């Protein structure tokens, strides 16, 4: 049985640029990812994505405009178990809204595409950022 998680690629528009939110885990290898987390009993991917974004970054559905026409599923293995993560693209309505980190994360950054790709490390996540940027620039 695969591990299932949902997440949001949160972005904001600041002075003609697109900045993406990355959170640094406070555990393991301190990896950087967009807000995401495991589905709880009875949840679908999008419900989990919204709940996790609220828990990890402090942004509720009211703070975000979710782009229904951008959805990306990543499949990979974690400690020998298959994992499936579904991401949606979500714009922060107020670019000055404050990030409120949970104890699961020790740091956050708003970064441009190139830096998001460097920090995220994983090729499928890097590709997701590139596709998100292309989608936003269409």
Which domain does 101 fall in, by range? 3-136
What percentage of the chain reaches a pLDDT higher than 70?
A: 100
Token pair of 63 as six digits: 């703070």
CATH number (domain holding residue 7): 3.90.79.10
Q: Among candidates 137, 117, 112, which has minimal Cα distance to 19?
A: 112
pLDDT > 90? residue 23: yes
Q: Among candidates 49, 58, 114, which has minimal Cα distance to 88?
A: 49
| Buried/exposed 110-125: b ≥16 CB within 10 Å, e otherwise | bbebebbbebbeeeeb
C-beta separation of 45 from 39 below 8 A: yes
- State how many domains the chain has: 1
Question: What pLDDT, on the 0 to 100 scale, is given for residue 67?
Answer: 96
Question: What pLDDT, on the 0 to 100 scale, is given for residue 1?
Answer: 78
What beta strand segments (E) does the chain contain?
Answer: 3-14, 17-25, 32-33, 36-38, 64-78, 81-92, 105-111
- Enter the pTM of the model: 0.95
pLDDT > 90? residue 94: yes
């Amino acid at each position: 049985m695969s591990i299932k998680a949902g997440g949001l690629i949160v972005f904001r528009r600041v002075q003609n640029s697109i900045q993406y939110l990355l959170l640094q885990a406070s555990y393991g290898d301190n990896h950087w990812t967009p807000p995401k987390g495991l589905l709880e009993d009875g949840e679908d991917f999008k419900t989990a994505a919204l709940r996790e974004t609220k828990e990890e970054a402090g942004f509720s559905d009211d703070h975000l405009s979710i782009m229904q026409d951008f959805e990306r599923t990543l499949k990979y293995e974690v400690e020998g178990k298959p994992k499936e993560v579904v991401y949606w693209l979500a714009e922060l309505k107020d670019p000055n809204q404050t990030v409120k980190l949970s104890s699961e994360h020790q740091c956050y950054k708003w970064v441009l595409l190139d830096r998001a790709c460097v920090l995220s490390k994983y090729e499928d996540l890097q590709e997701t950022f590139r596709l998100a940027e292309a989608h936003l620039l269409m």
